[in-house]
Amino acid sequence: MRKITAAHLRLWRVPEPTAENVILAVSELVTNGIQHGHGAVGLKAIYSDGVLRVEVTDGNPSPAQLAKADDDDLSGRGLFLVAVLAHNWGVSDDGHTTWCAFHLSSGRP
């Protein structure tokens, strides 16, 4: 998923620092989908009007939630990273899709 996302970001001419943040957010959301979801995990990236929206869908009807990880915990920081990296994020009403959005100042023409 990281390589596919990186290829699309290059095609859309997303600047490198932002592209790295998007790739990290995709990695975290897909990892959460694999670890906590049921069945297949889907990834969709939509770039329109200067906003890149990433959606990851899985079969888990329980919505993703920010968790408080202790200093010595080895996991539990994925959504926190997404919340810090993206301009906003959320979960669909049915709980199956977690999304994040990045506002881009430049990109595809």
Domains and CATH numbers, the chain: 2-103 (3.30.565.10)
Mean pLDDT of 40-46: 93
Rounded distance between C-alpha atoms, residue 103 and residue 87, angstroms: 7
What pLDDT is recorded for position 73?
46
pTM attached to this predicted model: 0.83
Q: Structure tokens of 102?
A: 């990045």
**Cα within 13 Å of Cα(6), Cβ side:** 9
Averaged pLDDT, 9-37: 91
- Categorize the per-residue pLDDT at 109 as very low, low, confident or very high, splitting at 50, 70 and 90: very low
The b-or-e profile of 24-61 (16+ CB within 10 A means b, else e) is: bbbbbbbebbeeebeeebeeebebeeeebbbbbbbebe
Tally Cβ neighbours within 10 Å of residue 74: 6
DSSP-derived secondary structure for 49-66: TTEEEEEEE-S--SPP--
